[in-house]
């Protein structure tokens, strides 16, 4: 490394975010990317660790060669660093914004100190590449005459489409929504991922020959058999979109919604410059978010920007520890207490963290006729005791809107049925687990629909690996690179 003692001399620093109360006035991004000078300084902290766990199985699923491009950044060779990053990651400015950074959890500097700001360096390199004109379309020089249809335009579908187009195949992406991007466009709020960031990548893919067919639901607007007949290969990259619900008394009351329905409606209203549908608008309402994770945080932050009068977040699990527990050693992902952007904003707005841990919802309570008025809940003992209710802890919490952020349980069955494949017991489309096949000749699956609900980096890794398998199947050989399958 350029400065083998950098991690001893330089402290971990991230670019300053805008103040929380200022952020609540708009849906703009939380703050700027790092400057070139800040990049150089932070990259100097990447130590000569010998075994880079950041790019191992416990770190980055994409196999990003993090020490290599950190060294190039330290030397001021930003364009070369970006090229090295693009060798393994199609969309670094996206992962640098939305990934929880398992690479940082496995960073060797983090073993006895604070990890290198790997995620922030990724974001800044990607942004810099567009600003300087380093990122340009790379269309294939030769066409193969083969056609691949990709169903779904989330991160897995986009990564696969770009790889396959660069290999010379005709690639058509079918997306049932009115915009391409899948989870990236409607599942992640604008303040975390400005849609202009996504739009410039989509423009690059189109310039490389990828065709997008929007507002087209496979199985409704086009028959799966037709798609297969017109294609040499079909890749399903539809995500894990079947949301986990909470079937409790009162679930039918107006005001109880799935989190993704809420996030989709609010982002669509923002992009279309229209009002959010009244039944989903949090303005002037008491909001309750059930479930944590990124989706729960995004609901909190969105409701605050819409003008909710209160926001409470219920989590079934107990509060995580402030530091790694003995059964959670490095380089595993650290299961510790974190304050994300939405929690910070809620605390700034209302004076306290919005989360209540170790709480279970018992029923939804009616207010005005047919309308939600609140929930009945209770405390529960930890998972070791099977989440048993604490006697005498039952109580009411008033709420006008409840958003269920409980994760996803698999692919939508109607799509699997339409293609003649059967999801496994966990709702995944899996044939031969390491070859992305589904058991139907010429039909492949990648991303969350194959792997189950996971991270954006895993989706990109799956898309790249599936593209390599498809290219090899169609051509007998492949030069596409991909993570280990």
CATH number at residue 83: 1.10.1060.10
Backbone φ and ψ of 221, nearest 5° = -90, -20
Q: Is residue 54 part of a domain?
A: yes
CA distances (Å), 324 to each of 111, 337, 338, in order? 11, 9, 12
- Considering the domain architecture, whether residues 297 and 434 belong to the same structural domain is answered as no
Question: Would the pLDDT of 485 be above 60?
Answer: no
Q: Does residue 200 share a domain with residue 89?
A: no
Query: What pLDDT score was predicted for residue 345?
Result: 98
246 found inside a domain = no
Q: Are residue 230 and residue 315 in the same domain, yes or no?
A: no
**Banded model confidence at residue 4, pLDDT cuts 50, 70, 90:** confident
Both structure tokens of 184: 């990236």
Kindly report the CATH number assigned to the domain that includes residue 433: 3.50.50.60
- Give the per-residue pLDDT at 57: 82
Sheet holding 256-258, edge to edge: 256-258, 401-404, 286-290, 310-315, 355-357
Distance between CA atoms of 97 and 139, rounded to whole angstroms? 26
What H or E segment, with its residue span, contains residue 450? helix 448-451
Domain boundary among 80, 105, 132: 132
Q: Is residue 115 part of a domain?
A: yes
Both tokens assigned to 92: 């670094």
Residue 137 falls inside a structural domain: no
In whole angstroms, give the CA distance from residue 33 to residue 54. 22
170 and 121 belong to one structural domain: no
In a domain, 139, yes or no: no
Are 152 and 109 in a shared domain?
no
Q: DSSP of 1-47, one letter per residue?
A: ---TTHHHHS----PPPPPHHHHTT--S-SSPPPPHHHHHHHHTT--
Structure confidence by residue, pLDDT tens digits, 61-91: 999 999 999 999 999 999 999 999 999 999 9
Determine the longest span between alpha carbons in the chain, in angstroms.
Answer: 71
Number of domains in the chain: 3
* Tokens representing residue 427 in the block: 């709702």
> How many angstroms separate the CA atoms of 202 and 14, rounded?
28
Q: Are residues 62 and 45 in the same domain?
A: yes
213 and 153 Cβ atoms separated by less than 8 Å: no
pTM for the predicted model, two decimal places: 0.96
187 and 273 together in one domain = no
How much is the average pLDDT of 129-145?
97
Are 182 and 267 in a shared domain? no
Q: Is the pLDDT of residue 280 over 70?
A: yes
Whether 247 is in a domain gets the answer no
3-state secondary structure of 377: strand
Q: What are the beta bridge partners of residue 459? A: none
Q: Do 413 and 459 lie in a common domain?
A: yes
Whether residue 264 sits in one domain with residue 399: yes
| Whether 174 and 220 share a structural domain | yes
> Which of 73, 100, 132 is at the close of a domain?
132
Residue whose entry in the numeric block shows the structure tokens 């309308």: 371
Q: Is 457 helix (H, G, I), strand (E, B) or coil?
A: helix
Terminal Cα-to-Cα distance of the chain (whole angstroms): 29
Domain presence at residue 298: yes
How many Å is the Cα radius of gyration of the chain?
Answer: 23
Sign of CA dihedral 240, 242, 245, 250: positive
d(CA 69, CA 474) in angstroms, rounded, equals 33
- Distance between CA 101 and CA 457 in Å, rounded? 9
Share of the chain above pLDDT 70, in %: 98
Query: The domain containing residue 102 runs over which residues?
Result: 6-132
Q: Are 115 and 182 within 8 A, CB to CB? A: no
Cite the DSSP H helix spans in 133-242: 155-166, 195-207, 224-230
Query: Does the structure show a pLDDT above 70 at 286?
Result: yes
**How many Cβ atoms sit within 10 Å of the Cβ of residue 307?**
12
Mean pLDDT of 27-34: 95
- In a domain? residue 1: no
- Structure confidence at residue 183 (pLDDT): 93
pLDDT for 435: 83
Element (H, E) at 257: strand 256-258
Among residues 132, 156, 175, which one ends one of the domains? 132
Q: What is the pLDDT of residue 422?
A: 87
* 8 Å CB contact between 283 and 308: yes
The verdict on 346 and 223 lying in the same domain is no
Q: State pLDDT tens for residues 355-391.
A: 999 999 999 999 999 999 999 999 998 776 678 999 9
More confident position, 50 or 120: 120
d(CA 330, CA 326): 10
């Amino acid at each position: 490394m350029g400065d083998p003692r950098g991690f001893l001399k330089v402290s971990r620093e991230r670019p300053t975010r805008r103040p929380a109360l200022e952020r609540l006035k708009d849906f703009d991004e939380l703050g700027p990317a790092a400057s070139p000078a800040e990049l150089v300084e932070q990259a100097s902290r990447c130590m000569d660790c010998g075994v880079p766990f950041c790019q191992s199985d416990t770190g980055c699923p994409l196999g990003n060669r993090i020490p290599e491009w950190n060294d190039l950044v330290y030397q001021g060779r930003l364009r070369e660093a970006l090229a090295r990053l693009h060798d393994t990651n199609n969309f670094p400015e996206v992962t640098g914004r939305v990934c929880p950074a398992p690479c940082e959890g496995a960073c060797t500097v983090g073993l006895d100190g604070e990890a290198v700001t790997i995620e922030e360096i990724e974001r800044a390199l990607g942004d810099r590449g567009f600003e300087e004109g380093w990122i340009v379309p790379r269309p294939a020089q030769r066409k193969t005459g083969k056609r691949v249809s990709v169903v779904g335009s989330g991160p897995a579908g986009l990564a696969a489409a770009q790889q396959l187009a660069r290999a010379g195949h005709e690639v058509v992406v079918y997306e049932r929504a009115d915009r391409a991007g899948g989870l990236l466009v409607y599942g992640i709020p604008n303040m975390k991922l400005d849609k202009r960031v996504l739009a410039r990548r989509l423009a690059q893919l189109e310039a490389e020959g990828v065709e997008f067919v929007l507002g087209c639901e496979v199985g409704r607007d086009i028959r799966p058999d037709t798609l297969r007949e017109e294609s040499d290969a079909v890749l399903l990259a539809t995500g894990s979109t079947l949301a986990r619900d909470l079937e409790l008394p009162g679930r039918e009351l107006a005001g109880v919604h799935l989190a993704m329905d809420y996030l989709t409606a609010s982002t669509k209203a923002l992009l279309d410059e229209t009002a959010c549908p009244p039944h989903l608008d949090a303005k002037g309402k008491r909001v309750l978010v059930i479930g944590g994770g990124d989706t729960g945080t995004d609901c909190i932050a969105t409701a605050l920007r819409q003008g909710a009068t209160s926001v409470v977040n219920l989590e079934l699990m107990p509060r995580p520890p402030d530091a790694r527990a003995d059964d959670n050693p490095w380089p595993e992902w650290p299961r510790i207490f974190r304050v994300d952007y939405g929690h910070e904003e809620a605390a700034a707005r209302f004076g306290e963290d919005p989360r209540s841990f170790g709480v279970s919802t018992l029923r939804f309570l009616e207010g005005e006729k047919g309308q939600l008025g609140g929930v009945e809940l209770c405390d529960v003992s930890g998972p070791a005791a099977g989440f048993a209710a604490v006697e005498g802890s039952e109580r009411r919490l008033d709420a006008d809107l409840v958003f269920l952020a409980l994760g996803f349980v698999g692919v939508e069955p109607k799509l699997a049925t339409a293609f003649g494949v059967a999801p496994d017991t966990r709702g995944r489309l899996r044939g031969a687990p390491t070859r992305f096949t589904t058991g139907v000749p010429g039909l492949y699956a990648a991303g969350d629909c194959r792997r189950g609900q996971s991270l954006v980096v895993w989706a990109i890794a799956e898309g790249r690996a599936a593209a390599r398998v498809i290219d090899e199947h169609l051509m007998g050989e492949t030069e596409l690179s991909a993570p280990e399958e």
